[in-house]
Amino acid sequence: MTSTQRTRHEVDAQWVHIHYSEAAQFKTVYGFSGQQGVVHLEGVRYMPRGVKSDTLMIYMHPASTLQLLPMPNAMAANGVHVLCAGSRYARNDTALIMEHVVRDMGAYIRHAKEDWGYQNVVLGGWSGGGSLSLLYQAQAEKPTITHTPAGDPYDLTTAGLLPADAFILQAAHVSRALVLQDWIDPSVIDENNPEVLDESLNIYNADIKPPYSAEFMLRFRAAQKARVERRTAWVKEMLTDLKRKNGKEVERGFMMHRTMADPRFLDGSLEPNDRPIGMCYMGVPETANSGPIGLARFSTLRAWLSQWSLADTNANGVKCASSITVPFLALEHSADDAVPQQHTDMVYREVASRDKQMHVVKGASHYFVGQPELMQNTVELMLDWLQERGFCKS
> Checking DSSP bridges between strand 253-255 and strand 356-361, what pairing results, if any?
unpaired
Supply the angle between the helices 129-141 and 98-114 in degrees, to the nearest 10. 70
Query: Three-class SS of residue 36?
Result: helix
Read off the DSSP letter of residue 162: P
Alpha-carbon dihedral sign for residues 114, 109, 143, 321: positive
Q: Which of 32-41, 260-269, 308-317, 319-328 has the lowest mean pLDDT?
A: 32-41
Per-residue pLDDT, averaged over 185-191, amounts to: 97
Q: How many CB atoms lie within 10 A of CB 25?
A: 10
pLDDT of residue 31: 62
Tell whether pTM > 0.85.
Answer: yes
Q: What is the pLDDT of residues 10-37, one digit of tens each?
A: 999 999 999 999 887 777 776 655 556 8
Q: What is the pLDDT of residue 24?
A: 79
The amino acid occupying position 103 is R
- Alpha-carbon distance 380 to 56, whole Å? 17
Domain boundaries, the chain: 11-175+315-388, 179-308
User: In one letter, which amino acid is 32?
Assistant: F
As a CATH number, domain 11-175+315-388 is: 3.40.50.1820
25 contact partners, CB below 8 Å, separation of at least 6: 152, 250
With residue 179 as reference, give the H or E element that holds it.
Answer: helix 176-183
> How confident is the model over 96-110, as a mean pLDDT?
98
Rounded CA separation 8/55 (Å): 18
3-state class of 160 per DSSP?
A: coil
Q: Which residues pair with 320 in a beta bridge?
A: none
pLDDT at 4 over 80: no
CA distances 173 to 131, 134, 178, Å, are: 7, 11, 8
Q: Which of 23-32, 185-194, 336-345 has the lowest mean pLDDT?
A: 23-32
Identity of the residue numbered 393? K
- 32-60 confidence digits (pLDDT tens): 555 568 899 999 999 999 999 999 999 99
Kindly tell me the sign of the dihedral angle through the C-alpha atoms of 200, 234, 22, 120.
Answer: positive
Quote the pLDDT of residue 278. 96
Radius of gyration of the chain (CA): 21
Amino acid at 26: F
Q: Could you give the CA distance from residue 316 to residue 180 in angstroms, rounded to a whole number?
A: 12
Write a three-state SS string for 298-364. EEEHHHHHHHHCCCCCCCCHHHHHCCCCCCEEEEEECCCCCCCCCHHHHHHHHCCCCCEEEEEECCC
What is the C-alpha separation between 50 and 61, in angstroms, rounded?
A: 28
Does 140 have pLDDT greater than 70? yes
Please provide the average confidence, as pLDDT, over all residues in the chain: 95
Q: What is the DSSP letter of 208?
A: S
For residue 54, the 8-state DSSP code is S
What SS3 state is found at 75? helix
